[in-house]
Chains A and B, each alone.
Chain A
Amino acid sequence: MSMKPNAKTVLEVKDLQTYFKTDAGIVKAVDGVSFSVREGETIGIVGESGSGKSVTNLSLMRLIPSPPGRIVGGEILFEGRDILKLTEKQMRSIRGKKISMIFQDPMTSLNPFLKISTQMVETIRLHEKDVSTQEALERSIEMLKLVGIPSAEKRIQSYPHQFSGGMRQRVMIAQALSCNAEVLIADEPTTALDVTIQAQILELIAKLSDKMGTAVILITHDLGVVAGMCDQVCVMYAGKIVEKAETDELYARPSHPYTEGLIKSVPRMDTTKKGNRLFSIEGQPPNVIDLPPCCPFHPRCHKAMEVCRHAYPPVKDLGKGHEVACWLFADESEKQQALKEANVKEKAE
């Protein structure tokens, strides 16, 4: 883990909105998400299934299936350019070269019909036309060595099924970084792996990010993984970032009741208190179809107030870049104002 406060910002997401049109209504999978990543930094995005973590990152790659999905608003600034305004051809030169992605399931993200060598050479030569096949092959072998695949020269001629899960994930990482990507998006990279293999892969990602200055966006539901890997954490709930802070700050002072509940509800191995009941967040994540304009967490929140039922809370900065979207931190006047506006709207309807 390395803190580089002066490093330049590589990717900036501003107010991203990705909606899906379904028969049941419009699903606001991502609704106004903003964050930025600096060179060599690792940012974690945590949340439960359906909170919009993966859709956020597929949006960054412009891989949202359309229809039904559509990025309806916001900006994604990469090297000063808004990649949402690029043509598909321009996007292709970024995707896989400058912004790479590794997926959750290493079993299905490699082509089972092609040798590893074919797949890796293809990636490199697609982006760098002047590289010969031989050079690309050599670079691929180098990358495989870097990610710790033994006898890489021989293994590169194997097919994916000849590798174990952990090894396949290593191949994916090697492939993703073979063009010196500036941003690596890792979507639950270790969820399908066992703990001992998970530890290997996480260490590898951290080492490579440090060595090559790659910014990493790590999507996960595991709060333990985040604690060990990330400089900054965004907590997502129902398509919105509810809290964003530096990792230490977030775990020391979780401010949003959801973050607090999430941290308290996982059993911890190092605390000796046993047999106690776990803290649990009652109820279930909301359906994100046609959410009313309220805090989406209020039905499960143990600190819910009247205003939470009527308006979405403003984002408050608690200092040191610790941002939280919760009415608990808003001024009294803001709450009154929001309640009044909600009243007016309800009457109008």
Chain B
Amino acid sequence: MSTERKPLLEVRDLKQHFPISSGSILQKQVGAIRAVDGVSFDVYPGETLGIVGESGCGKSTTVRSISQLYKPTSGSVIFNGVDLVRADSRTMLKARRDIQMIFQDPYASLDPRMTVRSIIAEPMIIYNNRRLLETPMSPMDIERRVEELMERVGLNKAFKNRYPHEFSGGQRQRIGIARALALNPKIILADEPVSALDVSIQSQILNLMADLQKEFGLTYLFIAHDLAVIQHISTRVAVMYLGKIVEISEAVQLYDNPLHPYTIALLSAAPIPDPKVERERKRIILTGDVPSPDKERTGCYFYDRCPKKMPWCSCHIPPMFNINEKQHVACWLYDKRNLSKVTMEEAEADAAKVAGAEA
């Protein structure tokens, strides 16, 4: 990745907290679910950034905060030089043309009362009516574009008057892709687009998305929990845990040489479809479950489950260490100082000193 390239999307310290309220009449906030808790990354034009992580780690919330479906608590999302978090509705409307989404559930993301034609045409009609397209489209233009899109994603254009329930899961996902492509977006945020599909259909959709990327020069932000799928499609990969990115690296490096203990455990837990390989692999089985994201943490977010934890980690949040140009990891193991010898007392004293200095 050359450093001169300008990122298409810059996410800086994005936080998305959902309030927990109690009280029946006088509601008051008693806490917050820290779904996304300080995430920063760049997405470069033409690449695919994959985001992996377990359920509840904030993958989907990150994507939804980027597209401003949720208003982020703090941080900024800069797309093409515009900060979407602070943009007014008109600017946002323009930006949304270039940011489209594909959702996980092909059954729930299409309106059952609309025909395929009206589903795919809807974005064009909306933007056309508000005069936000460079060249206004006539109804005939829209009709032609719908047919063209259907053929491009592998649907028979003769089916344009059918309803979503008449299609299978894979075909519905194709409709969702056609809808996302309708306005010629620059970036597509794909939230688990293949996880609801059968394996044979999954490979069809992955191939289609790869083809479209080449053809239209699309940029993808691709979420999945399947590590093999992420490896297949991504140029770079971000691994999330409990609302934070723990490692962000080029895909090849991440899979060949994972750095963060969580990434290592995650990769070793994913089954490989080959009995010989499976028998010889060493599994790192993490104990316990992902903790609840409802409290503020002062130490490493992975501390409770980490097989390599040190006293230092319990009270210091690791920053992102740049190992080299291609690998970045948030783990104290990669600090230049050797922290493994620090005792609990020393670590706590240091943390207290830092907290005192800040106050």
Contact = CB atoms under 8 A, between A and B. Distances in A.
A195 B256 CA distance: 19
Given A198-B269, A199-B269, A269-B255, A48 B210 contact: no
Give the residue among B274, B278, B287, B289 with the most A Cβ atoms within 10 A: B274
Contact of B199 (A200, A265, A277): A265
Interface stretch (B109-117, B118-126, B224-232, B350-358): B224-232
Interface in A213-233: 221-228
A187 to B, nearest CB: 16
Contacts of B225: 194-195
A335 to B, nearest CB: 26
B271 A224 contact: yes
Contacts of A270: 272, 274, 277
Interface string B273-296: 111111100010111011000000
A196 interface: yes
B206 A48 contact: no
Interface string A225-263: 111100000000000000000011001000000000111
B274 A251 contact: yes
Interface residues of B, number: 46
Contacts of B201: 48, 284
A221 B283 contact: no
Given A194-B225, A284-B170, A284-B201, A251 B273 contact: yes
Contacts of B210: 277
B207 A269 contact: no
A164 interface: yes
Contact of B279 (A1, A196, A269, A277): A1
B227 A195 contact: yes
Given A194-B55, A196-B269, A267-B232, A166 B289 contact: yes
B212 interface: no
A118 B328 CA distance: 50
B200 A262 contact: yes
A21 interface: no
Interface string A59-83: 0000000000000000000000000
Among A167, A194, A248, A279, the most chain B Cβ lie within 10 Å of the Cβ of: A194
A166 B272 CA distance: 21
Interface string B180-218: 000000000000000000111111101100100000000
A4 B283 CA distance: 24
A268 interface: yes
B270 interface: yes
A265 B198 CA distance: 11
Interface in B227-275: 227-229, 231-232, 251-252, 255-256, 265-275
Contacts of A225: 271
B266 A196 contact: yes
B289 A265 contact: no
Contacts of A265: 199-200, 202-203
B98 interface: no
Contacts of A228: 271-272, 275, 278-279
Nearest to A276: B232
Contacts of B267: 269
Interface string A114-139: 00000000000000000000000000
A202 B251 CA distance: 27
Given A199-B283, A228-B271, A248 B289 contact: no
A87 B259 CA distance: 59
Given A195-B227, A199-B283, A278 B271 contact: no
A282 interface: yes
Given A1-B279, A280-B204, A267 B229 contact: yes
A194 B231 contact: no
A197 interface: yes
A190 B234 CA distance: 25
A48 B170 CA distance: 13
A173 B251 CA distance: 37
A224 B270 contact: yes
A221 B200 CA distance: 11
Interface string A179-212: 0000000000000001111111011000000000
Contacts of B207: 277-278, 280
A281 interface: yes
Nearest to A224: B271
Contacts of B13: none
A49 interface: yes
Contact of A197 (B255, B268, B278, B289): B289
B83 interface: no
A27 to B, nearest CB: 16
7 contacts: A48-B199, A194-B225, A196-B54, A197-B54, A199-B271, A228-B272, A274-B232
Interface of B: 54-55, 168, 170-171, 198-204, 206-207, 210, 225, 227-229, 231-232, 251-252, 255-256, 265-279, 283, 285-287, 289-290
Given A266-B199, A266-B228, 14 more contacts: A195-B269, A196-B54, A199-B269, A200-B285, A251-B273, A251-B275, A251-B276, A262-B199, A267-B206, A268-B272, A269-B267, A269-B270, A277-B210, A278-B232
Interface of A: 1, 48-49, 164, 166-167, 194-200, 202-203, 221-228, 247-248, 251, 261-263, 265-270, 272, 274, 277-282, 284-285, 300
Query: Sorted from nearest, which 10 A-B pairs have the closest CB atoms?
Result: A224-B271, A267-B232, A194-B54, A199-B269, A223-B273, A265-B203, A48-B198, A228-B278, A280-B203, A281-B200
